[in-house]
Amino acid sequence: MKENILLVEDEEALCMALSDRLHKEGYQVDFVTDGHKGFEKATSLPFDLIILDIMLPGRNGLDLCRDIRTAGLGTPVLLLTARSETVDKIIGLKLGADDYVTKPFDMQELMARIEALLRRAPIRTGQVVRQFGPIRIETRGMSDHRDVKVTRGGEPIYLSAREFELLRYFMEHAGMVLSREELLRAVWGYEAGTFTRTVDVHVASLRQKLEKDPKRPELIVTVHKSGYRFVGGAEY
């Protein structure tokens, strides 16, 4: 599985060069050029790693790093700092960043740091925390629904194993339109056919547990004639 990297960097040339290189290394890259958008992205989609420039328009990288941690995200953060910002990297590490590289950096060096962070991420944190608006999902190893804690505005939500599997699949494919057939195959292991109604029933029960107003879902939305899309997001 390709790892997802979020790049928050306002220097366009560097942004392009970096995403090119990351693509070549086999990563999926999403990039934004200001701090506010960076926060929105980081809290609405699941990433395996976030690369943060410090000097950014909107919200600087240090504030962004702190806000990401405050929002409950355990995603590894790598800071990009300029030489003149040596003090900032210490602050950055205190605010929850995992590592930093100083500009101008050697691409090879950066790739090695990224690889190291991705490798140690699950061991270091021992858990994955994902936040979609008021919904917070904490997992240990992602193997079993009993290892998952789901809360809504701090209140615990209890999910069945199937509901968890469905939610996990939605999270891993956030923003994508998923057909009932695909969900049935991925979550239940059934071939498409007579059981597609099963998906609707489980989506309805997930909505009942997760949505502010289950009749007007904002998290798992219906896409007419196509299926469902998991949205989530900071504005929710």
**Which parts of this chain interact with Ca ion (CB under 5 A)?**
10, 53, 55
Q: For residues 53 and 88, which CB has a smaller minimum distance to Ca ion in the complex?
A: 53
Token pair, residue 74, equals 């355990």
DSSP line for 161-217: HHHHHHHHHHHHTTTSEE-HHHHIIIII-PPSSTTHHHHHHHHHHHHHHH-SSTTS-
Q: For residues 53 and 98, which CB has a smaller minimum distance to Ca ion in the complex?
A: 53
CA 78 – CA 109 distance, rounded (Å)? 13
Nearest distance in Å: CB 72, Ca ion: 26
**Residue with tokens 């498409």, as numbered in its chain:** 192
Contact criterion met (CB below 8 Å) for 59 and 81? no
Nearest distance in Å: CB 129, Ca ion: 27
Q: For residues 32 and 55, which CB has a smaller minimum distance to Ca ion in the complex?
A: 55
Q: Which residue is nearest to Ca ion (CB)?
A: 55
Nearest distance in Å: CB 82, Ca ion: 8
Nearest distance in Å: CB 196, Ca ion: 48
Q: For residues 5 and 54, which CB has a smaller minimum distance to Ca ion in the complex?
A: 54
Classify residue 104 by burial, with Cβ atoms within 10 Å: 0-12, 13-18, 19+.
Answer: exposed
